[in-house]
Amino acid sequence: MSRYSAWSVLTQGLRGNKGWRRAWRHPEPKPSYDVIIVGGGGHGLAAAYYLAKEHGVRNVAVVEKGWLGGGNTGRNTTIVRSNYMIEGNTRFYERSVKLWENLSRDLNFNVMFSQRGQFNLCHSTAQMDAARRRGNVMRANGIDAELLDRDEVARRLPYVDTSPNARFPVHGALYQGRAGTARHDAVAWGFARGADRLGVDIIQQCEVVGFLQEGDKIVGVKTTKGAIRAGKVGMAVAGHTGDLAAKAGLRLPIETHLLQAFVSEPLKPLINTVIAFGGAHFYISQSDKGGLVFGGDLDGYNSYAQRGGLPIVQHTAASAKALIPSLSRLKILRHWAGAMDMTMDGSPIIAKMPIEGLYLNGGWCYGGFKATPASGWCFAWTIARDEPHEDNAAFTLSRFAEGRMIDEKGVGPVPWAH
């Protein structure tokens, strides 16, 4: 496989772009691998890439039931940030942002990571106090954070309704300048190409329908392309974690819920940053193609359907208009839903499971995209060394029994409220 470079673009351009080769192979599955990763989204592909790159484990397969990045990797609002406050989250998400900052170079694939900054708007003195505390905790952990007052928000975001008559008047914002967005498909493709170059087999259109078990140990997977044996099996299947884990006889502190996302018709450049509304659950940015990309809250009931209901469409549109009144006549181009694996404390699980040979990367709630590189990096470490890295040491399954929940929002064991 050739490296992508300015030179390769130039020479291919001169030859009518006829010399580009496939970015990854389409191999048939081998009878056995050292490690099988179930799920060819960003997290699974990143785990395979870092297993091969950092740990020299190259006899690896990624098994995907559909196509690469066809699940939540391609269904999110592409926001990357590390404005977390609870110990266990802070360092992990900061590792992720640091990996993002060098990801295009590392993968030799442009993931279009754009550090355009993120505003978390505050609409009361209490929210400002909470933002100040969060910002201080972030800075104490070496993460950038700035507290902005209302006038500064009005100066930087002139299209946001900062008038005292707004439904939720803006008091200020917590700003993270290193936050931003990335191109989600490119993340899956970049990791896939990187992993493939290091010898990882990526097997698409191959659904895992069960596990091979010998005694108490998992020794492989049953797929629609036959059984494949493996020394270790890692699950990275996002919203389908509960369903797949049940096939291994594993019950989890996870429920699957719907989250919708929206893209508007394309506009000329309007929003050059990421804005999270503090009055309702709403966040918005603008893609490089011009469409406004935004999302809101969960639909609020258990579902694997990957299609959302209209009440949330209305709620999200109302939030958009309350925040930025000039969007009132904007047309929505597309909206879709993803199946989210909502945990009981709103934080993920990257850990060895109680069943020998099984590892889980899941419970990402709706914050999985930003975590992609660090998630893969820590999952690869956990699989290769049979112990967690200190950055994912808190993301255990046993934390619920031990009372070590990482509940960033403080809502308790109510998965649809995180």
Residue 317: phi and psi, rounded to 5, are -65, -40
* Interaction residues for other proteins, span 120-159 (CB under 8 A): none
Block residue for tokens 């966040």: 283
Options 310, 333, 387, 404; binder of other proteins; rule CB under 8 A: 310
For residue 153, which of 129, 169, 133 has the smallest C-alpha distance?
Answer: 169
**CB–CB of 200/117 below 8 Å?**
no
90, 96, 256, 392: which one contacts other proteins (CB under 8 A)?
Answer: 256
Binding mask 206-245 for other proteins (x = CB under 8 A): ----------------------------------x-xx--
- The whole-angstrom separation of Cα 236 and Cα 376 is 9
Tell which one of 66, 210, 300, 354 touches other proteins (CB under 8 A). 300
Quick check: 74 binds other proteins (CB under 8 A)? no
**C-beta of 146: minimal distance to other proteins in Å?**
37
Q: Which of 1, 10, 209, 305 binds other proteins (CB under 8 A)?
A: 305
Q: Which residues contact 188 (CB under 8 A, 6 or more apart)?
A: 40, 41, 42, 45, 68, 69, 73, 74
Answer yes or no whether residue 413 interacts with other proteins by CB under 8 A: yes
d(CA 241, CA 377): 19
Using rule CB under 8 A, residue 75 touches other proteins: no
Min dist. Cβ of residue 322 to other proteins (A): 18
DSSP characters over 282-293: EEEEE-TTSEEE
Residue 254 contacts other proteins per CB under 8 A: yes
**Binding residue (CB under 8 A) for other proteins from 18, 251, 268, 289:** 251
Six-digit token string for 175: 């700003």
Backbone angles phi, psi at 387, to 5 degrees: -150, 155
Q: Output 75 or 232, the one with its CB closest to other proteins.
A: 75
- Name the one range near other proteins by CB under 8 A: 75-83, 188-196, 264-272, 297-305: 297-305
Shortest distance, CB of residue 416 to other proteins, whole angstroms?
6
20 lies in the site for other proteins, by CB under 8 A: no
Query: Measured between alpha carbons, how far is 313 from 410 in angstroms, rounded to an integer?
Result: 26
3-state secondary structure of 185: helix
* Nearest-angstrom CA–CA distance, 418 and 415: 6
Q: Footprint of other proteins on residues 390-409 (CB under 8 A)? A: 400-401
Candidates 303, 316, 347, 392; binder of other proteins (CB under 8 A) is: 303
Whole-angstrom CA distances from 150 to 13, 119, 123, 124 are 49, 12, 10, 11
Kindly tell me which residue out of 253, 291, 367, 388 binds other proteins, with binding defined by CB under 8 A: 253
Q: Which is nearer to other proteins, 135 or 415 (CB)?
A: 415
Q: Token digits for 171?
A: 């008091």
Which lies closer to other proteins via its Cβ, residue 176 or residue 303? 303
Name the site residues for other proteins (rule: CB under 8 A). 240, 242-243, 246, 251-256, 300-305, 309-311, 344, 400-401, 413-416
